[in-house]
Chains A and B, each alone.
Chain A
Amino acid sequence: MPGRRGRRWDGAVRCCVVSCCESCRGRGRPLVSSPGPGGAVSELRGPEDHTWNWTFLSKGRGSDVISVIKQFQVCLASVGANMNVGTAHSEVNPNTRVMNSRGIWLSYVLGIGLLHVVLLSIPFFSVPVVWTLTNIIHNMSMYIFLHTVKGTPFETPDQGKARLLTHWEQMDYGVQFTASRKFLTIMPIVLYFLTSFYTKYDRIHFIINTISLMSVLIPKLPQLHGVRIFGINKY
């Protein structure tokens, strides 16, 4: 249904292939023919040509309108092109390995530390408020980046198997209880302990922090792998 797809990152993008490629500009020679009213992708030439240039125009829908262009240049001999995903390794989806890379756990902890220090330097927040804010902001960011944003920021060579999967579901290709998953589950819990201590177990802070923790722990359960409650965030 057209009206449903208002979400910004939700795949609400239509494309139509446009006229000239960049190098043919000025010579009036279109590389691919302009789209007809159906807006379909037309005659993409195969790898026998030395470059192919498609220009996709797309626009999101609803009030959050985003116009993006996809200018995709694939050069045959260019093994080094930045946009050839997985050229230097046969990792089909590099997103699955990001959380296992060297130094990312340390960077994550340092990031939380930086957030906390920035919040501490705001003069009118007391220490318990700062800790609760750290906890909330951390959990909200984790929820957005790990459990809301779906797909990969680049095209993968597997025809988009991971398009409807959040980053948490993509990690390690869906294998549960790997080291990174355990780390990312433990971090909010540790933060919760610290926050409870520094807020002196005050009731309001406790309620807020617990709800925030639940919001970030429940999506990590293996039983909720791929589950979309009430169809929210399905497409």
Chain B
Amino acid sequence: MANPKAVCNGHYHQKQNNLLKSGIYKKNGIAKQIKKNGISNGSFYKQPFTEHFEQAPLYVAVFTYVGFTVGTIFGYLKDFLRACGIQKCPFAIEREEQKDFVPLYQDFENFYTRNLYIRIRDNWNRPICSVPGPQFDLMERVTDDNNWTFRFTGRTIKNVINMGSYNYLGFAETDANALKTVADDLQKYGTGVCSTRQEMGNLDKHIELENLVAQFLGVEDALVFGMGFATNSMNIPALVGRGCLILSDELNHTSLVLGARLSGATIRVFKHNNMQSLEKLLRDAIVYGQPRNHRAWRKILILVEGIYSMEGSIVRLPEVVALKKKYKAYLYLDEAHSIGAVGPTGRGVVEYFGMDPDDVDVLMGTFTKSFGAAGGYIAGRKELMDFLRTHSHSSVYATSMCPPVAEQIVRAMKCVMGLDGTTKGLQRVQQLRKNTRYFRQRLHEMGFIIYGNDDSPVVPLLLYIPGKIAAFARCMLEKNIGVVVVGFPATPITESRARFCVSAAHTREMLDTVLNALDELGDFLQLKYSRNSKSSRPELYDKTSFELED
């Protein structure tokens, strides 16, 4: 087939460019999208699966290290000055009586905190004094001694645009009409449950909520817990134990990692969203068995998340399920960020890929993000849920969810499902999708490096250089926009980022305000590192015809 698009024997033969299938292409010698997640198998996906993880030019990485080196040198200098007494210690000195005691901690372990983090820590833990909706109010605080202590001026900064809260469907609201049922339940049940599910804390509200969650997800039964983190950390130990194998994604959340470590099972980590790596681990596990005695593993559990909150990437669920079926492993899907946020009707990644919820053995999620409440759930088959009801520490010993919160989840879920008789929920889901697409598309056009899937409402914008982390957050606050920034060691050393969470409650005007501010700030701070070629004539994007106009 010399001609790439030949028709031969009635079949249309097209030369497959393998690189193109995996989503990378070279132009002018620059690899546009670095292949980080392996080659994807296109036949599994019913819609295009596009993820971007572009790498910045090398000089940016060099400057990042220069930044950290300068910070470290100044850190050592300041420590020396404090030790000599030339600089005042802004913290208390230990007592004389304790000089001879055995030391408990190393001061080097604290080096990063006191010399790098504290200098810019006015960008975190900002106190909010309103509902974290699309806009919120901040308490203004100033520092007189370089962020060692803060003092509130008494002023409130009003209507700061909120780009950091996980408010995907906009249910963080204070509308009295919408919260009427919640207020009624508060009158009826009070605030506290004062007991565990096994004793006196099993209310009819919990049963109603569990049935609703099961109906929402399309599974047999569900179990709800008062705390999202505890759902993962307490239930994974109930499912697996010694002699079992856990295959966990590289970028899994701390709750999953903690649950896996508490369980006592062997943990192996596969590269983020990389199906070749996962398959290799599965094959090795089955062929070689347990490490010393080579017996078969009792269980193999694959831990993945729906949307990874630091990368904005979506799990390749069809391929994971195919692998799981081939190698007879179990799948635990943590949909903390993706439930309510993706999928045509907001039912999460399972619906997003058009798959059957029965394929996933354990569906887990939280109500904190899309439903404006607190707590988590686990859903799946009825036998599994009954087992967890008796064997999970969370359900046996932890206090159950409080009734007003449960009612908030019930009303939010009914809204999303359309059971309240309106289409408001569906509108929210669609608005979120529109907002996500718009926000991401505009940021790509502007030239920022954005990570993640085109459909994920979590948008990490890469900042790279440590000095820009604080500068970005502070400048955005001056423009009345609140953002969340992260740096090393929470992220890899070269990849500090600002993370935006798009919400259905954001109007187009709010997003435009944010985007214009980002445009200005991107030029000022030199953040537009993307090397994907943009048109030099952006006004041509909107043209409908190219006829000459008189």
Are B103's CB and A12's CB within 8 A? yes
Assembled-state Cα–Cα distance A175/B99 (Å): 39
Q: How many A-B residue pairs have CB under 8 A?
A: 219
Other-chain contact of A151, B106, B117, B120, B492 (Cβ < 8 Å): B106
Which partner residue on chain A sits nearest B252 by CB separation? A90
With both beta carbons as reference points, the residue of chain B lying nearest to A93 in the complex is identified as B489
Tell me if A82 and B486 are in contact (CB < 8 A): yes
CA distance A98 to B248 in the complex (A): 22
CA distance A178 to B155 in the complex (A): 55
> Would you call B93 and A81 a contact (CB within 8 A)?
no
CA distance A78 to B124 in the complex (A): 9
Tell me which residues from 122 to 172 in chain B have a Cβ below 8 Å from any Cβ of chain A.
Answer: 124-125, 127, 149-150, 164, 166
Contacts of B69 in A (CB 8 A): 111
Q: How far is the CB of A100 from chain B (nearest CB, A)?
A: 10
Q: A225 at the A/B interface (Cβ < 8 Å)?
A: no
- Which residues of chain B are near A70, meaning CB under 8 Å? 105, 110, 113-114
Q: Cβ of A89 and Cβ of B251 under 8 Å apart?
A: yes
Smallest distance from the beta carbon of A47 to chain B beta carbons, Å? 7
A233 to B149, CA, bound (A): 35
Q: Given known contacts A61-B99, A76-B229, is B250 in contact with A90 (CB within 8 Å)?
A: yes
Task: Count contacts on A: residues with CB < 8 A to the other chain.
Answer: 75
Whole-angstrom CA separation of A85 from B248 in the bound complex: 18
A213 to B105 alpha-carbon distance, docked (Å): 34
Q: Which of A116-124, A152-160, A204-212 contacts B (4 or more CB under 8 A)?
A: A152-160
Which residues 55-97 in B have Cβ within 8 Å of A in the complex? Answer: 55, 58, 60-62, 64-66, 69, 79, 82-83, 89-95, 97
**List of B residues within 8 angstroms of A76 by Cβ:** 229
- Inter-chain contacts of A153 with B (CB < 8 A): 108-112
Which listed residue (A41, A61, A80, A152) contacts B486, Cβ 8 A? A80
Q: Which residues of chain B are within 8 angstroms of A65 by Cβ–Cβ distance?
A: 83
CA distance A9 to B101 in the complex (A): 17
Asked if B62 and A57 sit within 8 Å, CB to CB, the answer is no
Pick from B58, B94, B490: contact of A16, CB under 8 Å: B94
Query: Do A154 and B489 touch across chains, with their CB atoms under 8 A apart?
Result: yes
Residues from chain B with Cβ under 8 Å of A48 in the complex: 227
Expressed in whole angstroms, the minimum distance between the Cβ of B17 and any Cβ of chain A is: 27
* Closest CB in chain A relative to B518 CB, distance in Å: 18
Contacts of B494 in A (CB 8 A): 101-103
CA distance A75 to B489 in the complex (A): 16
Which residue of A has the minimal Cβ distance to B249?
A90
Given contacts A79-B253, A83-B117, A150-B108, contact A88 B94 (CB under 8 A): no
**Whole-angstrom distance between the alpha carbons of A104 and B327 in the complex?**
39
Partner of B61, one of A18, A103, A152: A103
**Distance in Å: Cβ of A188 to nearest Cβ of chain B:** 19
Give 23 CB contacts A-B under 8 Å: A10-B106, A11-B103, A11-B108, A12-B103, A13-B105, A14-B102, A22-B150, A47-B229, A51-B125, A55-B91, A57-B92, A58-B94, A66-B79, A68-B107, A70-B110, A70-B114, A75-B125, A82-B489, A88-B251, A90-B252, A101-B494, A151-B109, A163-B109
Which A residues have a C-beta under 8 Å from some C-beta of B? 2, 5, 8-16, 18, 22-23, 37, 39, 41, 47-48, 51, 55-61, 64-73, 75-91, 94, 97-98, 101-104, 106-107, 110-111, 149-155, 157, 160, 163
